Amino acid sequence: MASDLRKRRRTVEEEVPPRDREKEKADEVEEVKSKGLGWGGAFLLLMVARYYSVVYNNIHDCDEVFNYWEPLHYLLYKSGFQTWEYSSEFALRSYLYLLLHAVVSGPSLLLSNAGFTKMHVFYSVRLALGLVSAATEATLVSAANQKLGPRVGMYTLMLLCVSSGCFNASTSFLPSTFSMYAITLASALVLLGGRHKAVVAISAAGVLVGWPFAALAAAPLVVYSLISGGFFHVFLAGLLSTLCTMVLSVLADRHFYGRWTSSVVNLVFYNVFSGEGSTLYGVEGPTFYFLNAYNNFNFSFVLALLSPSLLYIERRDYDSLPRKPNRGYPRLLVAISPLFIWVAFMSLQAHKEERFLYPIYPLICLAAAATIERLHDFLPESWKLHEYLSWITWWVKRARPLVLGGILALSYCRTLSLFHGYSAPMQAYRHLPPLNANTTSEATVCIGDEWHRFPSSFFLPSSHYHVAWLNDGFTGLLPRPFDPALGGTTAAPRHFNSKNKASADQFLADESLCDFLIELELNRDDRTYRSHNKESWKPVYELRFLDKELSPAKTRAFFFPWIWEKSNKFGTYRLLRRMNESASI
């Protein structure tokens, strides 16, 4: 067999002009010598992409609002909604994580006299998240440039900039996003090599400040660093990072919860040892994350799952073929190993949410980029030496930009679908009118079954506005305002429980107290909407909203002009104003 391959290779080489062979080899050498785009250039391009995420990204999860934006609003403005997780009785959420973002929002808060509103503070926090995201991802791109070649680095950069998943996750105010920053940076350092202490220290901070369960995703990076970097010194660096972070976390929790406790320990205990835990909030099937990742990364996710085969391709060797230069694929597989461990582990859990997959999003881009770069090597080796089939390899190599372009186009269509279909809530609250400067009256914004799309109190024009829930049949436990009279963050309100059981007085009893109303009207015949009462309500702002239940999955997932609008069904998202409102509003 080897003899036949040698003969075929000699035959093919004889048919290829020597000048073309020399040019091809020269191109390979030039590619290896090239360093590609540096960290600074990658950071600037990523920052442009993250800026658009800052401005146009939706809030995809009500947990982001009520567990992070609302407590942050309370820290800054002494008003905001509290969830049962922030009751001092349970103390599941870390105030250290909130404090980091409160510091970031400080400069914007100080400029309130210069015309900066609460919404400016909101976007300043998002901008800071975008900067951190761009910095960590630029390090990943730089590592790919140096260890895998400039083509892999450029492909990774393009996927990071355009992928819908990274667009969504990069500026989300969530612990899973913070863990994503840490794992991205740690993976980049593993790929670069020789930064073992930093890998372990960064991983520890990402887990303890961000999301404790991300420890499993970071585990292979930590184990690799402990083995490769000298166990004692690397372990000591990780231990010091862990102790410092835990001390800061406990001190922050002691100050805000009013008792000695650890939110990190409490969260792990609740989800692992309390019995029902997070399954109270819904369960999904084992394919949930695969379908979700495909929506956010389309074919690049499939290619990312194929990346372990690159090690086989790298080591595949025929005596008759020239050995390709070592491109660092063994270390690449260590760097992207959190992707496979995390997807497998999370798919086994009953309770699933899109944000749980955030920690490994950038690694999907890196793994897919490496696979695309070696796409032609997935063809049978004999084809490259065959007299009539060798042209297929030639065309596959040159089709790589087309494959990448198709992935990027689908990613852009996915982002457009999310924005055009679901951005109405963040648009509607912008049209709440400011109250007269000298007024002492209050305005109540009432929300029924759209409570989970409330974009946070940062979108309320002033402290004179308040939000109240209307009973539209929801049977779970709703957030309630922090009560300074009970101690604010140190309180343990009796109406909170860990069983997701509704509180008796969580809804507004008298709807006549509503000054404004948020309502989503869907084109269905099974409900009467308050907005139909034209004598009581008039619209202030209306925007269409994609009806997920009545729209086909294939057409709603990606925005293809004409097809998307023609094939999908839409409702109307409304901000309404009571007809007999007071003159001061």
Three-class DSSP labels, 418-481: HHHHHCHHHHHHHHCCCCCCCCCCCEEEEECCCHHHCCCHHHCCCCCEEEEECCCCCCCCCCEE
Q: What Rg do the C-alpha atoms of the chain give, in angstroms?
A: 27
Q: Tell me the two tokens of residue 433.
A: 């009118």
Q: Tell me the two tokens of residue 475.
A: 């049977």
pTM of the model: 0.90
Strands 443-447 and 465-469 turn out to be parallel
Q: How many CB atoms lie within 10 A of CB 200?
A: 30
Residue 66 burial class via C-beta count within 10 angstroms: exposed 0-12, middle 13-18, buried 19 and up: buried
Strands 480-481 and 516-521 turn out to be unpaired
Under 8 Å between Cβ of 330 and 311: yes
Per-residue confidence of the chain (585 residues) as pLDDT tens digits? 444 544 444 444 444 444 444 444 444 444 444 566 789 999 999 999 999 999 999 999 999 999 999 999 999 999 999 999 999 999 999 999 999 999 988 787 777 666 788 999 999 999 999 999 999 999 999 999 999 999 999 999 999 999 999 999 999 999 999 999 999 999 999 999 889 999 999 999 999 999 999 999 999 999 999 999 889 999 999 999 999 999 999 999 999 999 999 999 999 999 887 666 666 677 888 899 999 999 999 999 999 999 988 877 766 644 344 544 556 778 899 999 999 999 999 999 888 899 999 999 999 999 999 999 988 777 666 666 655 566 677 777 788 899 999 999 999 999 999 999 999 999 999 999 987 655 667 899 999 999 999 999 999 998 899 999 999 989 899 999 999 988 899 999 988 998 889 888 899 999 999 999 999 999 876 778 888 888 899 999 999 999 999 999 889 999 998 899 999 999 999 999 998 754 445
Under 8 Å between Cβ of 321 and 208: no
Cα–Cα distance for residue pair 343/366, rounded to 1 Å: 16
Three-state SS at 310: helix
